[in-house]
Every structure is written in structure tokens, then in C-alpha cells.
Amino acid sequence: MASEGPILEIRNLQARAGEAPILHGIDLTIGSGEVHAIMGPNGSGKSTLAGVLSGRPAYEVTGGGVHYKGHDLLSLPAEQRAREGIFMAFQYPVEIPGVPNNYFLKASLNAIRSYRGQEELDAIDFLSLVKEKMKIVEMPQDLMGRAINEGFSGGEKKRNEVLQMLLLEPSLAILDETDSGLDIDALRVVATGVNHLRGPERSMLVITHYQRLLDYIVPDFVHVLSEGRIVRSGGKELALELEEKGYGWLEKDPPEAEAGASG
């Protein structure tokens, strides 16, 4: 798998939203080509972690650090992180009236291509590329000409996220509760899109509340997040255990941390 150092190294990461501290010291290492799942109850800090990694301005890092491909990630603005290959699929993709989806996708792809020193795609090449990727996520053509996510169903929004991921070909994909609000068919389609991207040069951080997504996107490692800390780590079987026991045990039974299970 990883020939060089890890793609992502999170060390003692602490962060808050407004006045409220949410992350209390996260340690996590992700190697090239690995798929890590983070599970945890509501309010455990899952979305905060995704937000901090992708550069959402609402969060403030109060301690610790993150290295991405060996460089300090937290000093980069959000757009720079995206250009360096980080992609976050939003739990709640934003509706943007008046901005056509195809125009947005082309602007995004070309911003990233030109950063990577690749030639920008013209309208025709873009269209044929986007059509090819749309097939993978079974997305209807007419969603291209509409405003970004405006009036899209829950499933269409998530397909649109995965479509963007397929176009931008990130090195590290963060899926923030991509399964929330999806029926089983949509979940299958979305997972197919994600699996399409799996490969030795691509890593994933799959954040989810439920185990069922992990039936489709099978992780190499599973971590349990509780009250802003990773309290347990293990293999994919840990997800099944959680499914069986629920999250209730987190409060009653202080975990025996198995730190460093990854990498």
C-alpha cells in the first residue's frame, strides 16, 4: 500500500465551534490507499473533524496539528486544500440558486486542473467527461443545467457530491455522513461511485453514524469517536460490534483504547 509516509497525520487535534470545545485531542494516521471509517453518536465531533480537515471557517483549531502529505494542512485556505487533493462530500450539500451546476463543476475542475499544471478542459471535453461520470452515479442529465443542488432530492444531492468527487479525483476523500437520508437504492449507487475511486493512491475517511454504509464501502480500519476523542480503533468487525451493541456502552464502559491500530 503506502510506499512513503502517511497521507494524513492528525496529532492531538483540538478544536471548537464558537465558544464550545468539541474536539479534545484526536490522533489518527491514514496511509495511502487506506479506507478509515469514523463512527460515533450524534455530537461526538464527527462533522467537526470533517469541517476542520476541509477548512470550514466556522471552526477554530485550539491545539495540536494536522500534516497532509508531510505539510502543515491547517495553514491552508479551503480552496488550497481542495487543489492539493482533499475532497469533502458534504453531509448537507448547499443549494446555490442562480449558479448552474455544470458551470460550477467546470469552474471547479478547471481550477484544480490548472493548479496541477494540466490543461483546462473546454466545454466539449468537459461535457463528455461529465457524462461518463454521471453514468456511474446514475444521475439524470437535466440536473446539470439546474442551479447547484436547488430542488434536488436528498439522493440527487448526494449523487452530485460523488459526481464531483469522481471528477476531481482527490487523494483524500472525506465522506461526511454521506449515507444520511438515503434509501437503500441511493446508498448502493453512492457507494458504487465511491468504490469506483478506490485505489492504492487514494485514501478515504468515511464518517458515518450507521454501520450499513460500511457494508458497501468496506473499511480497512474503524475508529469510534466519543466526546471529541477516538476511544476505540479496530478492523472492520468493530463496526459490526457497534451495530450490535449501539453506542450506549460508551457512557457505561470506559473503553480500552487500542491506539495506533492504523497504518
Partner 1 sequence: MSASARTASQLLALCEGFSPQGPEPTFLSALRAAGREAFAAGGLPSRRQEAWRHTSLKPLEGLSFHLPSGEATVDRGELELLSSPVFACSLFVFVDGHHRHDLSTPHAFAGDLRVESLRDVRASGAEALPSELGTLTDLKAHPFAALNTALLDDGALVSIPAATQVEHVIHLVFVSTGAAAPLSTPRVWIEAGPGSHAVVLQDHVVVGGEGPRLTSAVTEVTLGEGAHLELVLLQRESDATLHVSNLEVRQARDSRMGSHTLTLGGRLVRNDLRTLLVGEGAETRLHGLFLGSGEGVVDNHTLVDHAVPHCSSQELYKGILAGRSRGIFRGRVLVRPDAQQTDARQSNPNLLLDYGAEIDTQPQLEIHADDVKCSHGSAIGRLDEDALFYLRSRGIDMAMAQRLLTRGFAAEVLRALPGEVLGEALGSVLSEVLDAAETGG
CA distances to 45, 215, 216 from 115, rounded to whole Å, are: 32, 36, 33
Task: Mark the segment that binds partner 1 (CB under 8 A) among 76-84, 122-130, 183-191, 233-241.
Answer: 76-84
- Which region among 62-70, 79-87, 202-210, 214-222 touches partner 1 (by CB under 8 A)? 79-87
Q: Examine residue 151 and tell whether it contacts partner 1 (CB under 8 A).
A: no
CB nearer to partner 1: give 111 or 129.
111
Question: Phi then psi for 173, rounded to 5 degrees?
Answer: -105, 130
Of 12 and 118, which CB lies nearer to partner 1 in the complex structure? 118
Site for partner 1 in 161-220 (CB under 8 A): 164, 168
Q: How many residues does the chain have?
A: 263
> How many residues sit in the footprint of partner 1 (CB under 8 A)?
31
State which of residues 97, 117, 248, 254 lies at the interface with partner 1 (CB under 8 A).
97
Regarding 57 and contact with partner 1 (CB under 8 A), the answer is yes
Q: Which stretch binds partner 1 (CB under 8 A): 33-41, 102-110, 152-160, 223-231?
A: 102-110
Rg over CA atoms, the chain: 18
164 Cα distance to chain centroid: 12
Strand 20-30 relative to strand 96-100, pairing: unpaired
Q: Which stretch binds partner 1 (CB under 8 A): 19-27, 40-48, 52-60, 138-146?
A: 52-60
Count CB atoms within 10 A of the CB of residue 245: 11
Of 17, 25, 33, 56, the residue at the interface with partner 1 (CB under 8 A) is 56
Contact in structure between 35 and 218 (CB atoms under 8 Å): yes
Pairing of strands 229-234, 203-208: unpaired
CA distance 128 to 124: 6
If the CB atoms of residues 37 and 89 are measured against partner 1, the closer one turns out to be: 89
